Amino acid sequence: MNPLVPPAIPIIEARGLTRHYGDLVAVDRIDFIVARGEVFGFLGPNGAGKSTTVRMLTGYIPATAGTITVAGYNLLSHPGAARRHLGVVPEEANVYADLTVRQNIMLMAELHGVSKEERTQRGKELVEMFGLAERLKQKGRQLSKGLRQRLMLCMALVSDPDMLFLDEPTSGLDVASSRLIREVITRMNQTQGMTVFLTTHNIEEADELCHRVAIINKGRIAAIDTPRALRATLQSRRSVEVRFAQGALPPESMLNFGMGTETVKFAQGFRIFGAAPGLIAQELANRATAQGLHIEHLSTLEPSLEEVFIHITSRGVAQTAEEIHV
Ligand code: ATP
């Protein structure tokens, strides 16, 4: 995904947002802003507080403390005006089993007060976009999980919301449905400027789709930044991979020289970790040349978002991206 246009006009503002279930603090004084037009990812392990946050943001459950503003409206004092801007796709596909694809979409549009003309036109566009045009007369119960999820998206989008909430949109889906859903999310964001709030366990999905990602752990936000900046916080997990045509430099010689902090050996080469992969690569090339060794492959590698995630969530809570320089 391309780097984010810097957050400009907030569509969601959460301040001190907190939710208790009895003695359990599921969400603990979190603050964040989602800007209009961005795809914002909410990433965290099981039980981190993602769904609870989404339920509060969409007005399904009240917050124990804190404030939520949606498109300038306080969700508590102006719930109707605030929620009009939102479209919600829950994690569990719960379309009406006895209604057809078409009836499900039209019913949702009616509930949102979409005019007949508009809902017919928009419904038609959506079923085409989501590959459901041939299935208009099929009942909800006849659809596979992937098709039900596509229908849920049509139902959430038929009211043309400014912002779409997706809770684990591709979890457990077949590859074709997952890909289609990701493509449509990106297209709606890029062509219509739709803001998307996405919860996911899937780091690659967050990396691919999101302009910014909040990492939540134990009810607190551990970091919020672009996927790229989050990866950059793990400077020491940068690395260089080298493979020699024949013979090889001993990796220890690089470590002894203060280049890198750790190596992983493999046949005809090694991967060496260090904060300055460019310098390491240069030094490797110089040494290989001096010793008459031929390098077959040399590349610098950035840490994956998965490594960042494990690192941040295993270090506890209440850190910001700025604090996580290692
Ligand atoms: P997952 O990825 O597994 O869906 P999550 O990040 O969405 O997890 P939440 O579902 O928000 O996490 O749960 C946060 C914490 O609140 C967990 O400890 C969970 O057990 C607890 N919790 C969630 N809903 C309730 C509820 N209705 N009553 C009591 N505790 C709850």
Superfamily of domain 1-85+164-171+192-229+317-326: P-loop containing nucleotide triphosphate hydrolases (3.40.50.300)
CA 310 to chain centroid, in Å, comes to 15
C-alpha to C-alpha distance for 50 and 81, rounded to whole angstroms: 24
Ligand 1 pocket check for 49: Cβ under 6 Å: yes
Q: What distance in angstroms lies between residue 48's CA and the mean position of ligand 1's atoms?
A: 7
For the domain 235-302, what is the CATH code?
A: 3.30.70
The answer to whether the CB of 48 is under 6 A from ligand 1 is: yes
* 242 CA from centroid of ligand 1 (Å): 45
Of the candidates 196, 168, 172, the residue with the CA atom closest to the CA atom of residue 184: 196
Are 112 and 158 in contact, with CB atoms under 8 Å apart? yes
Q: What is the DSSP string of 26-89?
A: EEEEEEEEEETT-EEEEE--TTSSHHHHHHHHTTSS--SEEEEEETTEETTT-HHHHHTTEEEE
Cα(137)–Cα(37) distance, rounded to whole angstroms? 34
pLDDT per residue over 253-270, tens digit each?
A: 888 777 888 899 988 899
| 50 close to ligand 1 (CB < 6 Angstrom) | yes
How far is 68 from 279, CA to CA, in rounded Å?
47
Ligand 1 closest atom vs CA 54: 11
- Ranges for all domains in the chain classified under CATH 3.40.50.300: 1-85+164-171+192-229+317-326
> Under a CB-based contact definition with an 8 Å cutoff, are residues 254 and 271 in contact?
no
- Dihedral angle over CA of 171, 177, 182, 184, nearest 10: -140
CA distance 49 to 43: 10
Task: Output the pLDDT for position 247.
Answer: 85
Contacts of 220 (CB under 8 A, 6+ apart): 28, 29, 30, 317, 318
The residue whose CA is least distant from atom 31 of ligand 1 is: 21
- In this predicted structure, what is the pLDDT of residue 90? 60
Distance CA 224, CA 213 (A): 6
Query: Ligand 1, closest atom to CA 49?
Result: 11
pLDDT, tens digit, for every residue of 263-313?
Answer: 999 888 999 998 889 999 999 999 999 999 999 999 999 887 777 778 777
Burial bucket for residue 84 (CB in 10 Å: 0-12, 13-18, 19+): middle
Query: Is ligand 1 within 6 A of the CB of residue 217?
Result: no
Atom 1 (ligand 1) nearest CA? 46
Is the minimum distance from the CB of 8 to ligand 1 under 6 angstroms?
Answer: no
The two three-digit tokens of residue 124, written as one number: 């038609």
Going by alpha carbons, the residue nearest to atom 29 of ligand 1 is 21
The pTM of this model reads 0.78
Question: Where, residue-wise, is CATH 3.30.70 in the chain?
Answer: 235-302
Residue 30's contacts (CB-CB under 8 Å, 6 or more residues apart) are 14, 16, 17, 18, 49, 53, 66, 216, 219, 220, 221
Residues lower than pLDDT 70 in the chain:
1-7, 90-93, 315-326
Q: Is the CB of 44 under 6 A from ligand 1?
A: yes
How many angstroms separate the alpha carbon of residue 212 from the centre of ligand 1? 23
